[in-house]
Amino acid sequence: MKQFITPKSLKQRCLKQWQRGDFHRAFIQQTELFPLEIPLKNISAKYLLAHFKEVQDAIYSLRQDSKKHGYSIIDKVIAHRQLGEQKIPATIVFNTETIFLNYLSKSAELNQFKTLTQQTLEQEDLLKDWLVQFPFKMMKYAENWHHLLNICSYFKHHPRPACYIRQLDITGVDSKFIEKHKGILTELLSQVLTLTDYNNEIVGLSNHGFERRYGLRYDPPLIRLRILDSCLALYGLTDLTLTVDEFTQLNIAVKTVFIAENKINGLAFPDYPNAIVIFGLGYAVNLLAGAQCLVNKDLYYWGDIDTHGFAILSRLRHYYPQVKSMLMDQQTLDKFIDLTVYEEIEKSEQKALSYLTSEENSLYQKLQNNLLRLEQERISFVYLQAMLKSSLQ
pLDDT one-digit tens code per residue, 123-180: 989 999 999 999 999 999 999 999 999 999 999 999 999 999 999 999 889 999 999 9
Q: Which amino acid is at 249?
A: Q
Angle between helices 107-123 and 145-157 (to 10 degrees): 10
CB contact at 8 A, 266 and 260: yes
Q: Residues 13-33: pLDDT tens digits?
A: 999 999 999 999 999 999 998
Cis peptide leading into residue 135 (ω within 30°): no
pLDDT recorded at residue 60: 85
**Fold annotation for 222-392:** Dna Topoisomerase Vi A Subunit; Chain: A, domain 2 (3.40.1360)
Residue 358 pLDDT greater than 80, yes or no = yes
DSSP 91-136: EEEE-SHHHHHHHHT-HHHHHHHHHHHHHHHHH-GGGHHHHHH-HH
Contacts within 8 Å (CB) and 24+ apart, 311-317: 311/283, 311/349, 311/353, 312/261, 312/282, 312/283, 312/285, 313/355, 313/356, 313/360, 314/353, 314/354, 314/355, 314/356, 315/283, 315/285, 315/286, 315/355, 316/259, 316/285, 316/288, 317/355, 317/356
CA dihedral (112, 113, 119, 124) in degrees, to 10, reads 160
Strand 36-39 versus strand 84-94 pairing type: antiparallel
pLDDT at 340: 94
Yes or no: say if 376 and 260 are a contact pair by the CB < 8 Å rule.
Answer: yes
Residue 46 is predicted with a pLDDT of: 64
- Whether the Cβ atoms of residue 188 and residue 152 lie closer than 8 Å to each other: yes
Tell whether the model's pLDDT for residue 302 goes beyond 90.
Answer: yes
**pTM summary value:** 0.67
For the sheet with 239-243, list strands across it.
Answer: 239-243, 222-227, 275-279, 256-260, 298-302, 324-325
325 SS3 class: strand
- What Rg, from alpha-carbon coordinates, does the chain have? 34
Position with higher pLDDT, 1 vs 346: 346
Amino acid 43: pLDDT: 72
pLDDT tens digits for range 58-68: 788 888 988 99
**Quick check: 99 and 70 in contact, CB under 8 A?**
yes
| DSSP H or E run through 16 | helix 7-19
* pLDDT tens column, 210-234: 999 999 999 888 999 999 999 999 9
What pLDDT score does 51 carry? 64
| pLDDT band per the 50, 70, 90 thresholds, residue 1 | very low
Query: For the chain, which residues make up each domain, given as ranges?
Result: 7-105, 108-213, 222-392
pLDDT of 260 > 80? The answer is yes
Strand partners, 222: 243
Handedness of CA 369, 371, 377, 383 (dihedral sign): negative
Phi/psi of residue 291, nearest 5 degrees? -90, 130
Closest CA to 180 of 219, 141, 123, 130: 141
Q: At what angle do helices 97-104 and 52-69 cross, to 10 degrees?
A: 110
- Mean pLDDT, residues 295-302 taken together: 93
